[in-house]
Amino acid sequence: MQALLHAIVEPGFFADGAVQIAATLGGVVAVVAGLIGVFTVIRSQAFAGHALSDIGSAGGSSAYLAGVAPLWGFVGISVLAAAAMEQIGVQRARGRDVATGIVLGVGFALASLFLYLGMTYHNSSGEIPTILFGSVFTLSAANLPLVIGLGAVALLTTLTLYRPLLLASVSPELAAARGVHVRVVGAAYLFALAITVALCDLTIGAILSTALLVGPAAAALRLTDRPHRAALLAAGISLACTWLGLLLAWDSFYWPPLRHGWPVSFFIVTLVLAAYLAAGALARGQTKRG
Amino acid sequence: MFSGFMVNAWIVASLAAVVGGAVGFFVVMRGASFVAHAIPNGSFAGAAGAALVGASTLAGLGVFSVGGALGIGLLGRRSRRDVATALTLVFMLGLGALFLSFSAENSEAAYSLLFGEVLGISSNEIGPTLVLSALGLLMLGLLWRPLLLDSVLPGRAPGRRTLAIELAFLLLVAITTTMTVPVVGTTLIFTLMIAPAASARALTARPGLALLLSAAIALMTVWGAIALSYTTNWPVGFFVGSLGACAYALSRVAHWSSGG
Amino acid sequence: MELAQPPTAPLSDGGAATTDRVLQLAGVTVDLGGRRILDDVSFSLRAGELTGLIGSNGAGKTTLLRVILGLLAPTRGAVTVAGPDPRHSVGYVPQKFMLDPDLPVRARDLVALGIDGHHLGVARPSRERRERVTRMLDAVGAGRFADTRVGRLSGGEQQRVLIAHALISHPRLLLLDEPLANLDLRSAREAVDLLARIAREQRIAVMISAHEMNALLPVMDRVVYLAEGRAACGPADEVVRADVLSRLYGHRVEVIRAGERVLVVAGEGDDAEPSHPHHHDSEER
Ligand SMILES: Nc1ncnc2c1ncn2[C@@H]1O[C@H](COP(=O)(O)OP(=O)(O)OP(=O)(O)O)[C@@H](O)[C@H]1O
Ligand SMILES: [Mg+2]
């Protein structure tokens, strides 16, 4: 039994400082992303969320170039991009799609330029994989208060807007008839989304940012038909995937082929996808029985 | 600018632009920008995997973009399409991260995959590109009417037929991806598919004309980008992205001033 | 009755006390996209009455309701909703309603949002609140699907849930945009009876828009008839008359009564376009 436990949880996992920080930061971010993600999925804004995270990488790289702390680059550019999307036209579903695409294209164009300039003048190509793929294990504890603070801002915004946002997500017209300022609520939510995504970008990378925003929420929405339960369930799934992913990544230090560890993002993404598929199977089983 | 290996770049890039612009017409019609972004971006993993096992980059890109297309199409049957797209994309990117960590791939190579490297195009890429573009245009010609109908009135055809049309469309995006990655890189292909088509749609209401216009704008965007990149040495992707956005902005201005 | 154009024939006002007036429109004019959609529309609604807002496609019914809701500012004229909190004393059931089948919102959640959906923060769940929602759903005959996702309900079922959503905040005025369009004859009959009962029992002014008035005729206290941007208002048998409607349309129309049903058709000998939109009632069978 002891041996089996040791095989699953390599000794030292819980004692390691880097792991503790990673588990705390990753945990906070996972919970925030899971909760906020429910509205992202309900409002069909998965593309916007993903685009914001990709554009964040442009912010990260430009911040790096300018010598500012990457977090502010991430947050600043994400909020800016969210504003641009809101401006170009988020009202119509199809217009939103193209608006998001165009803004994302500009973001990428800038990212490519900044990375190029960074490589040419700073000779710093090592940053690219970190910016694109993130790495929880390289974070320092100094980031913790800031990450928790920004996460709290995003959560509070969404929680404050909970009822009008839900109503506006069901039907903008119904919400407007009740005196809800649908555009203001939408913009405020996009702002919270931008902050969340920037946080995710910095701590766990652009890939995981989308994965944790969309996957757990979509899985939860298949399992429950109550909005607040979906939010809590999504946070739970997101947290479980993140911690399990960290554990597996830690274990993988002894795995072939290179024995220097598999990337965390691979594990978390795979777990998220598995959770989504399992939720689908479970929901189908329920409807067949019920 | 037109000598030696640059000739290869011009040929491959022009073919990619024409097919990308044409396919982009349907991308915009179907509101599938996310798909057009996800398939190329995810196919990055294919290139990384190919480098790992020593296969050709083109083959890796092809396998992963078709795989991504199938994943989106099949996952999307039972769920929201944007969720299916996002999950397929992140899973492919996760694989890419894994492959990268296995190989000793340096980040210069990763960079040129992500943002394009015109100078790296060799003459033996012309053959596959020609075949792929012919295939893409043939498919477009054959599927023109059903695709157009399904894009305007989605979900009217019986279930299985709708899935077939959707898969054919995704396959078109995959083909475009495979042939365009070497030129503009995985991250900016979707600009090539969205910006020209969105511009064209603002300029004309006739579908056939919009498709031709879209291909033409894409061609000009790519030519301009290569020429500028050649003279400044800045990445092609940067110019594709910014020229695309400019074309879109101009078309909107034209649309407004004509009172639309 | 209030007629938009100077009335030539004086019609009775029903003699209700002005204190009962829930809504008053005075000279409301709306221009959209350079076109005059509503032209000097005036009428008022009283508590406990059911009013039909009748007009063919594009007559401006939805536009008029949006003006009353305050979603659209009129170019000219005034809308007065009686009561201390006008915004929240109007319930509304929109015309187009398309919902995602997997939206995680049950019928009961949507009705609960009717209580306080515009408030910030999360609602505190309570037994009372839950029972209030259940009672409301039962009252509109939607108790059976209280725990089903709204997106999975049929059009008619969704309609009932939406009526519950609108009613639960005790509005003084309930506006429904084409609530009968998606219903079969029997369901339409049931819905109309339900709405009439709600109007009487809860002393609410109910306004139902429709392009076809026959389903409403048995219960309708008054009618607001829209045509050519103008409105005629009054009891059905005073408004749905050849002379009044001819004046409204600006050319001759005939009102044909066949048993219980009423038909408005283009008048004989009138050379104005025969395909004018007011032949709307003729195909409703
Ligand atoms: N935002 C707008 N801009 C310009 N014209 C508009 C706008 N909204 C409505 N209209 C026009 O106003 C007219 C009235 O529209 P409205 O939706 O009120 O009609 P309706 O009576 O509700 O019709 P239906 O029975 O088809 O629902 C229509 O001709 C419509 O084209
Ligand atoms: Mg209407």
- Residue C180 pLDDT class (50, 70, 90 cuts): confident
Domain that holds residue A188: 12-281
Domain annotation for chain B: domains and CATH numbers: 5-257 (1.10.3470.10)
Q: Encoding tokens for residue A153?
A: 């801002």
- Rounded to a whole number, what is the distance in Å from the CA of A271 to chain C's nearest CA? 23
- Check pocket membership of C62 for ligand 1, CB cut-off 6 A: yes
Q: What are the C-alpha distances in Å from A286 to residues A224, A226, A228, A281, B124?
A: 11, 16, 20, 9, 54
Identify the closest residue of chain A to C108 by CA–CA distance: A226
- What one-character DSSP code corresponds to residue C106? B
C205 CB within 8 Å of a chain A CB: no
What is the edge-to-edge ordering of all strands in the sheet holding C35-46? C35-46, C21-32, C76-81
The secondary structure of A20-77, three-state, reads HHHHHHHHHHHHHHHHHHHHHHHCCCHHHHHHHHHHHHHHHHHHHHHCCCHHHHHHHH
**Chains with 3 or more CB pairs closer than 8 angstroms to A?**
B, C
pLDDT score at C229: 86
Q: Are A178 and C70 in contact (CB under 8 A)?
A: no
Chain C residues close to B79, C-beta within 8 Å? 102
pLDDT score at C245: 79
Q: C41 CA to middle of ligand 1, Å? A: 16
In chain B, what percentage of residues exceed pLDDT 90? 24
Chain A residues close to C96, C-beta within 8 Å? 173
pLDDT score at C275: 42
Residue A213: give its domain's CATH number: 1.10.3470.10
Quick: pLDDT tens for C5-26: 433 333 334 444 445 788 999 9
- pLDDT exceeds 60 at position A119: yes
pLDDT score at A9: 58
A290 located within any domain: no
Question: What separation, in Å, do the N-terminal and C-terminal C-alpha atoms of chain C show?
Answer: 30
pLDDT score at A250: 78
Say if strands C50-54 and C205-210 run parallel, antiparallel, or are unpaired. Answer: parallel
Q: Encoding tokens for residue C111?
A: 């009705």
A146 located within any domain: yes
Q: Are B180 and B236 in contact (CB under 8 A)?
A: no
Min mean pLDDT across A168-182, A247-261, C178-192 is at A247-261
Q: Are A158 and A36 in contact (CB under 8 A)?
A: yes
How far is A212 from A201, CA to CA, in rounded Å? Answer: 11
pLDDT score at A58: 66
Q: Which residue has the tokens 């199977």?
A: A281
- Check pocket membership of C66 for ligand 1, CB cut-off 6 A: no
Number of B/C CB contacts below 8 angstroms equals 3
Query: How many helices (H) and strands (E) in chain A?
Result: 12, 0
- pLDDT exceeds 90 at position A109: no
Q: Encoding tokens for residue A85?
A: 């999307």
The residue with greater pLDDT, B240 or A69, is: B240
The residue with greater pLDDT, A265 or C3, is: A265
Prediction pTM value: 0.80
pLDDT score at B58: 83
Q: Encoding tokens for residue B104?
A: 């000793």
pLDDT score at A285: 82
pLDDT score at B119: 62
Q: B235 CA to middle of ligand 2, Å? A: 52
Report cis status (omega within 30 of 0) of the bond before A256: no
Quick: pLDDT tens for B170-185: 999 999 888 888 777 7
Q: Which of A94, A266, A268 sits opposite B95 (nearest CB)?
A: A266
Asked if C147's CB is within 8 angstroms of A42's CB, the reply is: no
The mean pLDDT values, 10 residues at a time, for chain B of 260 residues are: 72 89 90 88 85 83 92 85 89 85 65 66 78 91 84 68 86 88 76 90 84 93 89 84 90 78
Q: Encoding tokens for residue A27?
A: 């945990």
Average pLDDT over residues C217-238: 87
Chain B residues close to C101, C-beta within 8 Å? none
- pLDDT exceeds 80 at position A56: no
Quick: pLDDT tens for A187-225: 899 889 988 888 887 777 777 788 999 999 999 998 988
Pocket residue to mutate for ligand 1, from C61, C65, C93, most atoms within 8 A of Cβ: C61
pLDDT score at A116: 75
Q: Are A34 and A211 in contact (CB under 8 A)?
A: no
How far is C237 from A48, CA to CA, in rounded Å? Answer: 55
A202 located within any domain: yes
Asked if A46's CB is within 8 angstroms of B95's CB, the reply is: no
A5 located within any domain: no
A110 located within any domain: yes
- Rounded to a whole number, what is the distance in Å from the CA of C187 to chain A's nearest CA? 23
Quick: pLDDT tens for C106-165: 899 899 988 888 888 777 888 999 999 999 999 888 899 898 888 888 888 888 899 899
A195 located within any domain: yes
- What one-character DSSP code corresponds to residue C149? B
A289 located within any domain: no
B77 CB within 8 Å of a chain C CB: no
- Check pocket membership of C211 for ligand 1, CB cut-off 6 A: yes
Q: Exposed/middle/buried for B157, CB within 10 Å: 0-12, 13-18, 19+? A: middle
Q: At what angle do helices B189-203 and B207-232 cross, to 10 degrees?
A: 130
- pLDDT exceeds 90 at position C30: yes
Task: Give the total number of structural domains in chain A.
Answer: 1
pLDDT score at C19: 57
Give the other-Cβ count within 10 Å of A187's Cβ: 16
- Residue C83 pLDDT class (50, 70, 90 cuts): confident
> CA angle, A47 as apex, B239 and A170 as ends, to 5°?
145
A264 located within any domain: yes
- Residue A122 pLDDT class (50, 70, 90 cuts): low
Pocket residue to mutate for ligand 1, from C35, C178, C225, most atoms within 8 A of Cβ: C35
Point out which residues pair with C41 in neighbouring strands.
C28
pLDDT score at C216: 86
pLDDT score at A259: 65
Q: Are C278 and C253 in contact (CB under 8 A)?
A: yes
Quick: pLDDT tens for A129-183: 555 555 555 566 777 788 889 889 999 999 999 999 999 888 888 888 888 888 8
C250 CB within 8 Å of a chain A CB: no
Phi, psi (deg, nearest 5) at residue A182: -60, -40
pLDDT score at B32: 87
- Check pocket membership of C74 for ligand 1, CB cut-off 6 A: no
